[in-house]
Amino acid sequence: MEITNKNIEKTPKIQKAPVIIALTGKGGVGKTSLSALFVRQLTEAFPDKKILAIDADPAVGLAMALGVDVKMTVDDIRNMFIKTAQTDQAAAIEMLGEAKYRMFDALVERKNLSFLAIGRPESAGCYCKVNAYLKEIISMLAGNFDYVVIDGEAGIEQVNRRVMEKVTHLLLVSDASKKGIEVAKTIHEVAKDLVMFDQSGIIINRMPDLNLVDQLELEPLQLLSCIEDDKAMALSDMLGKSVYEIDASSPIYQGGVEALKNLGIL
């Protein structure tokens, strides 16, 4: 059969599954800074692609790192459903039907970047069906993007609660401390049973001496990047600057690029 422009126009476009990068690890190791840098690097490398940044940390630190002003979180929407359900079940069901559109209202958009904040963590005994439905909506929302970067809550809790249930790349972030690395290994072991992912690896941040990398006990984790202690990044954090002000030659920026290249994303 001869292929013509008319034939091509009639061929349905297949939506490629998004690349979903989730970062987790012990608190205070630079996970949020790296998440923000990944967002910057993806938006710069792929200006024609749609990038979604999800801040799953209740502290909403990713928003500050990206210079984003958050007006509404997913938890705000969830609480609206719960409050309405307490007084009007019919109205609550109607609201759930509009959940996807309310999620779009919560998005902060800037060029090819969209930002969504999860908000506070779920409390025990709360409206599980509502929470499950909202997680499903977030999953549907991610399907509208080419790349998704999730800044997870510090520690293992979100993996246990399956907040990050299906990702393509699970990245563990640690400093050079034995404690940080052991936390990363524990998260990885738990994630193997609870999270579906294609690739995983560890990024060592704030390494005091790159010549000592071989002394780190990282197995079975794959080392994606080892980043020396970056004083410029520390100063930027102290001053509350966004990662867009970090020089591209800085150790942490270059370390982020190295990790993305080792994953085959850049």
- Greater pLDDT, 37 or 61: 37
**pLDDT for position 175:** 96
For β-strands 113-117 and 108-110, DSSP reports them as antiparallel
**Residue 239: inside a domain:** yes
**2 falls within a domain:** no
In a domain, 8, yes or no: no
Q: Where are the beta strands (DSSP E) in 128-262?
A: 147-151, 169-174, 199-207, 223-228
What confidence tier does 235 reach under pLDDT thresholds 50, 70, 90? confident
Give the model confidence (pLDDT) of 160-215 as tens digits: 455 556 789 999 999 999 999 999 999 999 888 888 899 999 999 999 999 999 99
pLDDT in the model for residue 225: 98
With a cut of 60, say whether residue 56 has pLDDT above it. Answer: yes
Mean pLDDT, the chain, integer: 83
Burial class from Cβ neighbours inside 10 Å (0-12, 13-18, 19+) for residue 244 reads: middle
Domain count, the chain: 1
The span from the CA of 86 to the CA of 32, in Å, is 36
Mean pLDDT along residues 140-151? 90
Domain of 104: which CATH number? 3.40.50.300
The domain in which residue 193 lies consists of: 17-262
Whether the predicted model's global pTM rises above the 0.95 cut: no
CA distance 109 to 90: 32
Any domain includes 87: yes
Q: State mean pLDDT over 99-121.
A: 84
Q: Quick check: is 11 in a domain?
A: no
